[in-house]
Chain A
Amino acid sequence: MITLLLALTMGTGQPDPLLGVRDPQLRTLAQTELRAAVQKGLPTAPLIAKTLEGQLKQAPAPRIAMALKALTARMELVKTKLGSATEPELVAGADALAAGVSPDALAALRRMWPERSIALPIGVLTELVTRGVEPKLATREVINLLNRRATPQQLIQLGYDVSNDVRRGQGAHAALDVRVRGLMGSLLPAPAGSTAIPARP
């Protein structure tokens, strides 16, 4: 049954998704993890990509298998927190968790955008945390911006600017503070009755 599900998910008649995996041991381990993902209702494409990434980085097969298990667990947690989630949301969410973003932060983003893809704001949040912004602060700022109707373009620009500021030597929190203040001036006030998060002093 599981094999059938896996075949259906990966597309019967399609090329073997693990065709690029040369190591037989890795192929066997990866197939096991793909079956587990299908059983949990998770997409297999991110796991195939992770397998190829590990192979490219010449990681040993058992280590790649561990990475696949960890990715499956993260995607499962994201799915639980978001309710229904698209594949880009699952992948972005799993990356965010790996970077240190809390599962509850993802749920909060979903509440802000219940009917829209939150893959993009999750990506921006991940970028901020990766640059050194404390996860709680980064989450609060991104949610505040969404609450003030910041556009996706503005969110991307924020992540881009903070990232470059940090590369130029600025502290992550200082960079975020300056960029958010600059952005807030162009945004609408938080709508009345919204679950506004208090602005920083």
Chain B
Amino acid sequence: MRDEVMHDPVLRPLVETARQLPDRNPALVARILAATATPVRRPWWQRWTVPAFAMATLAATIMVWRREAATPMVPAVATSGTDSVQPTRVAPASPVAPVASGDGVLPATVPVRFAFDAAAATTVHLVGDFNGWDATATPMQRAGDGRWVSDVALAPGRHVYAFVVDGTQWLTDPHAPRASDDDFGQGGSVLMVRVP
């Protein structure tokens, strides 16, 4: 009977794919294989019911497997220790892929929420080493009560940043440690992005 299945152009790729699945749920894979090993002498509608069911089950299994295999989003605990830059659990802007560094494994990025109080501002942009100091790259959103916020994905480690208000005014974070700047004389703020 298995040979008959392997000669069936519809069932054969199904069976081969099922055999390549990781050993996540052997019982389910076995059930799929068993389902495909049914007699071939059936009415036309029955002949398509089993493959269709098997196809749907296999697709669901692959989806579950791929979800399990995907790297889970690392919960953010990165904080600057200030009132201004706050931890958040928003999804990162880019996929979180683990990278080996030292004896531990670090996520490539950690989601961080920046917040800045500027009630009278028309626009506020976040600038820093993470966006190439591009004053147009990261506009902040007005969040009410004069607060502006922006969610960005940052690599773990040390970052320097500042806020640009109304396109021209350079302001540091009053709640964060300062970074000196010998080049231009206007330092930024420092954020140490931590990981869980």
Contact surface of A with B, Cβ cutoff 8 Å = 20, 45, 48-50, 52-54, 56-59, 63-64, 66-67, 70-71, 88, 91-92, 98-99, 113, 116-117, 119-121, 123-124, 126-127, 130-131, 146, 149-153, 155-157, 159-160, 163-164, 166-167
Interface string of B157-190 (1 = CB under 8 A from A): 1100000100010100000010111111110001
**A-contacting residues, B111-164, CB 8 Å:** 127, 129, 132-136, 155-158, 164
Cα–Cα, bound, A71→B184 (Å)? 13
Q: Is the interface of B mostly helix, strand, loop or mixed?
A: loop
Among the listed A66, A119, A131, A149, which residue makes an inter-chain contact with B103, where contact means beta carbons less than 8 Å apart? Answer: A149
Report chain A residues within 8 Å CB of B180: 99, 130
Would you call B32 an interface residue if the criterion is a C-beta within 8 Å of the partner chain's C-beta atoms? no
Q: Is the interface of A mostly helix, strand, loop or mixed?
A: helix
Distance in angstroms from B129 CB to nearest chain A CB is: 7
Contact surface of B with A, Cβ cutoff 8 Å = 81, 100-104, 106, 127, 129, 132-136, 155-158, 164, 168, 170, 177, 179-186, 190, 192-196
Contact of A153 with B192 in the complex, beta carbons under 8 Å:
no
Cα–Cα, bound, A70→B100 (Å)? 32
Report chain A residues within 8 Å CB of B136: 20
Closest to A20 in B: B134
Closest to A71 in B: B183
Report chain A residues within 8 Å CB of B185: 57, 59
Cα–Cα, bound, A56→B149 (Å)? 20
Contact of A54 with B183 in the complex, beta carbons under 8 Å:
yes
Report chain B residues within 8 Å CB of A153: 104, 106, 156, 194-196
Distance in angstroms from B144 CB to nearest chain A CB is: 27
Report chain B residues within 8 Å CB of A164: 81, 177
